[in-house]
Amino acid sequence: MAYVDFISPIHNKTKRDYLARVNEYPKAEAITIAKRYDRDYWDGDRKFGYGGFRYDGRWMKVVQAIVQHYGIKPGDKILDVGCGKGFLLHDFTEVVPGAEIQGIDISEYAIDNAQEEIKPFLQTGNAIALPFEDKSFDLVVSINTIHNLYCYDVVKALKEIERVGRRHKYIVVESYRNEQEKVNMMYWVLTGECFFAPQEWEWFFNLAGYSGDHSFIYFE
Three-state secondary-structure class, residue 81: strand
Burial of 85 (0-12, 13-18, 19+ CB in 10 A): buried
pLDDT tens digits along 7-16 = 998 898 888 9
- Strand intervals (E) in 28-159: 77-81, 100-105, 122-124, 137-143
Count, residues in the chain: 220
Q: Which of 137, 143, 21 is nearest to 72 (CA)?
A: 137
**What is the longest distance spanned by two Cα atoms in the chain?**
49
Amino acid at 79: L
Q: What angle do CA 202, 177, 29 make, to 5 degrees?
A: 95
| Per-residue pLDDT at 111 exceeds 90 | yes
| Per-residue pLDDT at 141 exceeds 90 | yes
Question: How far is 194 from 144, CA to CA, in rounded Å?
Answer: 11
Q: Say which CATH superfamily domain 8-217 falls into.
A: Vaccinia Virus protein VP39 (3.40.50.150)
| Per-residue pLDDT at 44 exceeds 90 | yes
pLDDT tens digits along 143-195 = 999 999 999 999 999 999 999 999 999 999 999 999 999 999 999 999 999 99
Q: Which of 24, 100, 94 is nearest to 59 (CA)?
A: 94
- Please check whether residue 142 is in contact with residue 161, taking contact to mean a CB–CB distance below 8 angstroms: yes
Q: Where are the domains of the chain?
A: 8-217
What is the value of pTM for the model shown?
Answer: 0.96
What pLDDT score does 13 carry? 85
